[in-house]
């Protein structure tokens, strides 16, 4: 498989894509399957985002690197495919990795995956490779690949699960974190350092003795508000661990990284998204110093109606999110640039809900909604999104159970979990609702991202409504919506 073949296929076949559920302000590929964001970087004053990509089907296949760029994180330009599995060391796929500008060149570091014997998983090999570009579009793979081979994997780690390098520079040295699985099948993160990107030295590892999933994929280590933050996506995380309801989860660990020893000391763990569809996020430092994160808006081991409907695509990225630390916790807020695309504002004050109140003129497509609730202690409010007859995506603010729930059991085409039957509900516990609740909701045709209490919690979900729907509120109590704002998002 080559880059030229992939780009030719895209040009010839992209018109086959059905647009019914495609987003308007989220990153998507022109056709085919995408998963993890890769190479989120700043190059020559533009933000570049690569992603795991298989253009030839709407299911996972040998991984390429798709590519897009933006000046503001919202309006993205699709670029040609950057990498294809065309070398012996990456013949099974160019797996996830990262990027950074060095001088006038953009360097990619990625995992070369080979799987020579489908009947023998132990034959899999994963190694770390480099590619670089002067224009940020056409990439040349390094002649010294792999730059970290199986011989350089420490003895406690499986050479079959060694992937997803995230590189950065500090004080004239390069560092990389790589996802790994121990030989006893517990997860870990490996740290390496280098003077020149081509010769790497193993530094240390971060692991736990408790059951914290198997391979820890897509790690990222960065400084945020004078603290070190390590994010990772453990596979097969026990349900309930730090609130996780997905066995493919995303965890942030606030702590301290010792650059001299490679030790990472954790002070606080948390789940980054308590919805259905968020995995493998990656961050970049923006020109103004903000730390921006973007994730894959989908999930492993889920059925998708898009395949059966013949839409020729599957997968997208979340809205980019600015990160900050408050009260020893990572908060997320939608990037401020999205405000530049707000149109047709409508504001309502003091809506008293004691039965049902519908806003039938707000036909949800690409919108931002802001809902500010008064004291919700011992009260329950249902917010029906995409409501049409009995169909809706139900968002419940439950002051009795002190939680926010998202229920997609009664909305459009069913999204079934392969590992858990009728897995239709996600919950987020809230410490107190006495001071009220703030919800900032972004709807984009077939996605919903809910930021709770200024980004303390986030819930992300895909949804495929069969009919056009509006928003409605229901309660058996007297609930006061202090403020409700609707904006159209027009990109």
The catalytic site residues sit at 36
User: How many CB atoms neighbour CB 157 within 10 A?
Assistant: 19
CA 102, 104, 106: angle at the middle one, nearest 5? Answer: 55
202-205 long-range Cβ contacts below 8 angstroms, 24+ apart: 202/152, 202/154, 203/175, 203/261, 203/262, 204/261, 204/262, 204/263, 205/154, 205/156, 205/157, 205/180, 205/262
- In whole angstroms, what is the distance from residue 300 CA to residue 31 CA? 19
- In whole angstroms, what is the distance from residue 375 CA to residue 366 CA? 29
- In whole angstroms, what is the distance from residue 126 CA to residue 142 CA? 16
Q: How far apart are the first and last CA of the chain?
A: 34
DSSP element (H, E) containing 281: strand 279-285
Three-state secondary structure call for residue 89: helix
Lookup result for tokens 């950065």: 168
- In whole angstroms, what is the distance from residue 110 CA to residue 87 CA? 13
- In whole angstroms, what is the distance from residue 124 CA to residue 171 CA? 36
> Which residue, 471, 348, 462, is CA-closest to 415?
462
Lookup result for tokens 């923006």: 286
């Amino acid at each position: 498989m080559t880059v030229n073949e992939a780009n030719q296929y895209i040009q010839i076949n992209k018109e086959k894509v059905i647009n019914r559920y495609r987003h308007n302000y989220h990153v998507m590929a022109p056709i085919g399957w995408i998963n993890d964001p890769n190479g989120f970087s700043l190059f020559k004053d533009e933000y570049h985002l690569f992603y795991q990509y298989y253009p030839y089907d709407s299911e996972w296949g040998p991984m390429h690197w798709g590519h897009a760029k933006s000046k503001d994180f919202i309006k993205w330009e699709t670029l040609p495919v950057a990498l294809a599995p065309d070398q012996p060391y990456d013949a099974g796929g160019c797996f996830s990795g990262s990027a950074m500008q060095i001088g006038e060149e953009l360097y990619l570091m990625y995992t070369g995956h080979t799987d020579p014997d489908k009947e023998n998983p132990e034959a899999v090999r994963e190694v770390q490779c480099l590619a670089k570009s002067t224009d940020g579009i056409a990439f040349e793979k390094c002649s010294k690949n792999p730059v970290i081979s199986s011989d350089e994997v420490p003895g406690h780690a499986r050479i079959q699960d060694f992937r997803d390098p995230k590189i950065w520079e500090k004080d004239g040295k390069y560092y990389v974190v790589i996802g790994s699985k121990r030989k006893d099948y517990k997860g870990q993160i490996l740290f390496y350092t280098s003077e020149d990107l081509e010769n790497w030295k193993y530094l240390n590892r971060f692991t736990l003795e408790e059951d914290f999933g198997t391979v820890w994929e897509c790690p990222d280590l960065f400084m945020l508000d004078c603290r070190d933050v390590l994010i990772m996506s453990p596979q097969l995380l026990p349900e309930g661990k730090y609130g996780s309801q997905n066995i493919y989860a995303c965890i942030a660990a606030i702590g301290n990284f010792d650059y001299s020893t490679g030790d990472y000391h954790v002070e606080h763990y948390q789940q980054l998204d308590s919805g259905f569809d968020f995995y493998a996020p990656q961050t970049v430092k923006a020109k103004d110093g903000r730390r921006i994160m973007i994730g894959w808006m989908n999930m492993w081991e889920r059925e998708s109606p898009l395949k059966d409907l013949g839409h020729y695509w599957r997968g997208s990225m979340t809205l980019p999110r600015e990160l900050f630390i408050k009260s020893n916790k990572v908060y997320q807020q939608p990037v401020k640039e999205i405000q530049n695309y707000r149109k047709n504002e409508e504001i309502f004050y003091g809506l008293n809900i004691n039965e049902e109140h519908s806003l039938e003129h707000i036909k949800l497509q690409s919108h931002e909604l802001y809902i500010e609730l008064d004291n919700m202690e011992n009260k329950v409010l249902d917010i029906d999104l995409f409501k049409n007859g009995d169909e809706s995506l139900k968002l419940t603010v439950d002051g009795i159970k002190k939680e926010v729930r998202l229920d997609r059991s009664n909305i459009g085409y069913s999204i079934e979990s392969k590992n858990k039957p009728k897995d239709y509900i996600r919950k987020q516990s809230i410490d107190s609702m006495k001071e009220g609740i703030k919800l900032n909701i972004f709807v984009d045709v077939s996605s919903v991202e809910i930021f709770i209490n200024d980004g303390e919690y986030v819930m992300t979900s895909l949804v495929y409504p069969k009919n056009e729907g509006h928003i409605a509120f229901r309660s058996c109590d007297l609930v006061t919506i202090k403020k409700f704002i609707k904006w159209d998002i027009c990109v």
